Chain A
Amino acid sequence: MAVVNREISKKAAEIRKELGHNFRDVMVEDIYKDAEAIAQKAVTIKSARQYDFDQKVDKILTSPIFGIPIMGALLALVFWLTIVGANVPSALLADGLFWLEDQMAQGMQLLGSPWWLTGFLIHGVYKGLAWVVSVMLPPMAIFFPVFTILEDFGYLPRVAFNMDWLFRKAGAHGKQSLTMAMGFGCNAAGIIATRVIESPRERIIAILTNNFVPCNGRFPTLIMLSIVFVAAAFPPAVASLVAAGTVVTIVLIGVLTTLIVSSVLSRTVLKGEASSFTLELPPYRKPAIGRILYTSLIDRTLFVLWRAIIMAAPAGGLIWLLANISIQDQSLAMWIAGWLNPAGHLMGLDGAILLAYIVAIPANEIVVPTIIMIYSHAGTMLDITQLDQLRALLVDQAGWTMLTAVNLMLFALLHNPCSTAILTIWKETKSVRWTVIGALMPLGIGIVVTFLVAQIWRLF
């Protein structure tokens, strides 16, 4: 058998040598010829109405006047639906899950469990999990289906077409605008979405820069800071407008960083990587709502949520341990925050913030609750919904200034991806090199940027 196989391979090699270098061209041409012959017999095209309709819609959606405004309006609408629509379910979910926390804690106490076991399991592991679920689930359950409707309708490739000029200049692919938009929902989902970019170089660029788009786990931090610090400095009449403007500014800084980093990557480490550009503009279709709900809930929301839960539960346990193990009357969290203070000060932040970012590597949703926990010497993660109280804690007690707020917003935008996103980079590239660069490059940029801002700020 083996002998026959070898003979066959040898024969195949010989024949292949006679084919010449353009055998692929010839093969594809032949396949198309056959396909055309079959299609001519089997397919009848009734009318060109669909095509004419597509042409008309394309004219509007890609027009120099309406193209960009329509895109901006739809993006704003998606955000508005996500943020407003998620508010109530998020609050309900949080109430329910935290009510359950109390019930379970009481139950365990009745069963005679020691306080540290109850604390670790319920106020640590469970709380971390509940927190991430209540912050993350509602926005994702809204954002992904809405985004998928636009995808299914056929609108997204038109966005890629309109935005390509910008990305071409940065050595990237127009479709990167879509993976970035997906990154607003979740960077891990955005990284998976880069599969639509068929060109290896542009795909790696899109993967490595996706983290410069703030995901919905980071949005609450940005919104809170822009309300408590930036907007508070303006009269109430324009405050909410200023808050929104601040968040948009941060997002734009992220987009600018993406373009700059893309451009640098494509001209340096990725210079030799193969590259090609094609973009199909499919016919417009009526979105299949049922299928959309199914795919976006199962494929994206639940998938991402499951990974986050796996990551968040241990983080919750760790945070509880840090807050409840005391050495010389001071919790471990306080000690570590103290050690990190000098580094934090250099970056215009402080030790507690850095510690929160380290323990929140699994899930960025718990950054602010952890910071509040450390400042208020609490034993578990805390949320303060009253803005005055929050301001009192952060400004009067922890000594935050406008610099702290600005740099925290910058650092929320520019730091290492969460562990789910890092794992996803590894799964998508199967390369240690790209995973390490994808994890450390944003962190390095974040450290440099916050450091420079802090130094310049203090000059004045």
Chain B
Amino acid sequence: MLIALGIVLLILVVLYFLRERKNNARMQQVYLEDALKYIFNREEAGHRATMEGIKGTLSISNRQNQEIIQQLQQNKLITLSEEGLHLTAEGRELSMEIVRAHRIWETFLERETDLPLHQIHQFADQQEHTTRGAKVEAMAAHLGFPTVDPHGDPIPEMGKMAPEPHRQNLNDWEVGREGRIAHIEDEPISVAREIFKKGFRVDDAVRVLERSQGEVRLEHLGKEHRLSTVSAQNIHLTETSLESQEALKTLDDLKQGEEARIRALSKRIQGLSRRRLLDLGFTPGVPVQKVLISAFGGDPTVYRVRGAKIALRKHQAQQIYIQ
């Protein structure tokens, strides 16, 4: 009896250690790639990459840090110099592959799932280490080969990355001038969450109305918003394209019985929702009539499109612009 118990215990201990080792190997891989990404980001931003920087970003011990750097050197991914750490051509290629995986994942999560936008960065951080090559390319093809991720960062392709366009911090933007959101920083998450929750998205047009102590008041899609200076620090703007986005009317603004032609579907409806609406005939140029509003809470509402009667919920109707 005791012997049997002993054997079972032994097997469990061995299994535990085997698992730990496998986990460790995987963790090691994640650390290596994260270190590489750190160096890449520093280089891209024109800063020096240092060993202390890696240690701080990855929150690891000195010993681990040394192991990681040695490993990266052995794999000929980085070189060391007086100024700090530098990527080799190989290291650069691998970094870009990781960044591509990360940003394709973010775009996928934004369009095809309902994950809150401030969480997609974290999720992509986990996925980028295990998704490579053909799978990333299949996702990219499904998304129509996007070039910019939901935060406004360029997605590298074939080892090349588009240069970051000139952009200016929201806190430095002139009062009264219209601009287009070019970038929303993904960290810290609490700030990203606030920005996304207020409805700001990359490519939206905004106008700074007033700047006061610790706060900026701005106009966005016809509505007024307030952002703290800290939040505004995480938003970058560029010159707006010629067509400015004033407050557009949507299907939701129609009164019962009124009819209008669809101008466009907002970029905010993506993935499944967008495909469904298009399939049902909500395409640009088509006349749509509001026929019936639910008596219970005023939502959903029935629209007549191409002879069919389709009910949509309010939040969807608000994303379909009319002429």
| A contacts, CB < 8 Å to B | 13, 16-17, 19-25, 28-29, 32, 54-55, 58-59, 62-64, 67, 161-166, 168, 174, 198-201, 271-282
Contacts and interface: CB of A to CB of B under 8 A. Distances in A.
A52 to B, nearest CB: 12
A423 to B, nearest CB: 28
B144 A199 contact: no
Given A24-B275, A272-B123, A274-B114, 16 more contacts: A16-B145, A20-B145, A21-B145, A23-B144, A24-B274, A28-B279, A62-B295, A161-B300, A162-B295, A165-B294, A272-B114, A274-B272, A278-B311, A279-B300, A279-B311, A280-B280
Contact of B292 (A29, A62, A168): A62
Contact of B276 (A63, A164, A276): A276
Given A62-B294, A161-B302, A281-B302, A24 B144 contact: yes
A58 B283 CA distance: 26
B311 A281 contact: yes
Contact of A64 (B145, B146, B296): B296
Given A201-B114, A276-B276, A165 B144 contact: no
A22 B144 contact: yes
B316 interface: yes
Q: 10 closest A-B pairs (Cβ-Cβ)?
A: A64-B295, A21-B144, A276-B273, A272-B115, A165-B297, A279-B311, A28-B278, A281-B309, A165-B296, A274-B272
A67 B295 contact: yes
Contact of B146 (A16, A21, A161): A21
A199 B279 CA distance: 14
Interface of B: 109, 112-116, 119, 123, 141, 143-146, 265, 271-281, 283-286, 291-292, 294-297, 299-300, 302, 306, 308-313, 316
A23 B114 CA distance: 22
A274 B56 CA distance: 36
B122 to A, nearest CB: 12
Contacts of A54: 309
Contacts of A282: 308-309
B115 A271 contact: yes
Contact of A279 (B271, B274, B310): B310
Given A29-B283, A62-B294, A272-B113, A277 B143 contact: no
12 contacts: A20-B145, A29-B285, A58-B302, A64-B295, A64-B296, A161-B294, A198-B276, A274-B112, A277-B312, A278-B277, A278-B310, A278-B312
Contacts of B144: 16, 19-24
Contacts of B309: 54, 280-282
A414 B286 CA distance: 49
Nearest to A274: B272
Contacts of A277: 300, 312-313, 316
Give the interface centre of A13, A23, A28, A282 by most chain B CB atoms within 10 Å. A28
Give the interface centre of B265, B277, B295, B316 by most chain A CB atoms within 10 Å. B295
Nearest to A30: B283
Contacts of B299: 164-165, 168
A20 B147 CA distance: 9
Nearest to A166: B296
Contacts of A166: 296
A146 to B, nearest CB: 25
Nearest to A36: B306
A364 B8 CA distance: 41
A55 B312 contact: no
B314 to A, nearest CB: 9
A20 B148 CA distance: 12
Nearest to A23: B144
Contacts of A29: 278, 283-285
A274 B271 contact: yes
A324 to B, nearest CB: 37
B301 to A, nearest CB: 10
A198 B297 CA distance: 23
B294 A280 contact: no
A199 B311 contact: no
Contacts of A272: 109, 113-115, 119, 123
A13 B138 CA distance: 10
A275 B114 contact: yes
A275 to B, nearest CB: 5
Contact of A164 (B115, B119, B145, B294): B294
Contacts of B296: 64, 67, 162-166
A266 to B, nearest CB: 10
Contacts of B115: 271-272
Contact of B300 (A25, A55, A174, A274): A174
A168 B314 CA distance: 11
A299 to B, nearest CB: 26
B310 to A, nearest CB: 5
A253 to B, nearest CB: 22
Contacts of B273: 274-276
